[in-house]
Amino acid sequence: MSTTHRIEVDLGERSYPIVIGRGLLGGNFDIANYVQGDDCLVVSNDTVAPLYLERLRANLTGRDVASISLPDGESFKTLATMQMVLDELVRGGANRDTTIVALGGGVVGDIAGFAAACYMRGVSFIQVPTTLLAQVDSSVGGKTGVNHEQGKNLIGAFHQPRLVLIDTDTLDTLDERELRAGLAEVIKYGAICDPAFFAWLEENIQALLGKDPDALAHAIRRSCELKAEVVADDERETGRRAILNFGHTFGHAIERCQGYGEWLHGEAVAAGMLMAAELSGIDELERLRNLVAAAGLPVEPPPISPADWLAAMGMDKKIQRKKLRFVLLEKLGEAVTTSDYDEARLQRLLGSPA
């Protein structure tokens, strides 16, 4: 039951382990081994810090540990919040040997990682993701950044952590809506590159929603393995890594049109995956829809006008030379990135008159 799994993200001199298990913050893993200098700054938020900061601190004895708690929520994922972290580093006299530890969900990890990328042109950082979404997706792979008011993650850096520490006990306190949002990214991995895992999810979705520890541990482990493999292949997303954005072109547009934070990222991705699957014209659309629905995730986007859709997607990072590119499914378990899609079907999906 309390087995610890270790997955290596193979990136040459930037390689690092993902360690998954129970009680890791409580002493089952020596984090301090990954803190190279004498001091570290723990970046957390007002929701997570009261729950887990002291447990983490107890694991960093002998180090000079400072902490900062950011306001919680996607709407705070801005350059201004990132500057709060930089100011705290400067105030504490942080140097090039300082390690930043991100304790929280995807927003905390993205901001803290970007601050680590920029402070003195790069210091070490450790991801301690405490939401399912961060554990299976955002903490792995080195994408860091903040939102611009005109688009998600428009400002950022690739900066790999030295360690991703996933203590699955932290999911005990995760609320149900956040849990479901995380499952959207888990389902994504099955849909884009592992049909057997997709079938396993169909079998085990109720156990996952019920926070069954073994089911969660398996889902997290398999998701991290798949992501680690894709990232090792294409760290900077010049090719294959783009398949991880399945559902995200539509999903980012939903988030942008609704205002960040109104829909959770995973919810927007869920509806976005179904739109992308429909645009793909695959036979197994209903299987994906049923799994998304079983996970309690939205199967339809919110009402957005065709003009708003297009404007919101016009700023999407996946555009190359002004032509829209989508991640589509050849079939369930196999994704491609392409600009070759059915234009009429896209118009219908966006609600344009035929």
| Binder among 151, 213, 261, 296 for a copy of itself (CB under 8 A) | 151
Point out the catalytic residue in the list 22, 77, 143, 325: 143
d(CA 175, CA 98): 33
| Binder among 154, 199, 207, 299 for a copy of itself (CB under 8 A) | 154
Q: Give the distance, in angstroms, between the CA of residue 228 and the centroid of all CA atoms in the same chain.
A: 13
237 belongs to the catalytic site? yes
Q: If 0-12 CB within 10 Å is exposed, 13-18 middle and 19+ buried, where does residue 61 land?
A: exposed
323 belongs to the catalytic site? no
248 belongs to the catalytic site? yes
152 belongs to the catalytic site? no
Q: Give the distance, in angstroms, between the CA of residue 190 and the centroid of all CA atoms in the same chain.
A: 16
121 belongs to the catalytic site? yes
| Binder among 35, 48, 111, 117 for a copy of itself (CB under 8 A) | 117
143 belongs to the catalytic site? yes
Taking the complex as a whole, the smallest distance from the CB of residue 127 to a copy of itself amounts, in Å, to 17
In terms of residues, how long is the chain? 354
d(CA 287, CA 94): 51
185 belongs to the catalytic site? yes
Contact (Cβ atoms closer than 8 angstroms) between residue 158 and residue 16: no
Q: Say whether residue 14 binds a copy of itself (CB under 8 A).
A: no
Burial 252-271 (b: 16+ CB within 10 A, else e): bbbbbbbebeebbbbbbbbb
Q: Say whether residue 296 binds a copy of itself (CB under 8 A).
A: no
d(CA 88, CA 101): 13
Q: Say whether residue 307 binds a copy of itself (CB under 8 A).
A: no
Residue 316 bridge partners (DSSP): none
Q: What residues act catalytically?
A: 121, 143, 185, 227, 237, 241, 245, 248, 252, 265
Footprint on this chain of a copy of itself (rule: CB under 8 A): 37-38, 79, 83, 86-87, 90-91, 93, 95-97, 117-122, 143, 145, 148, 150-151, 153-158, 236, 314-315, 317, 319-322
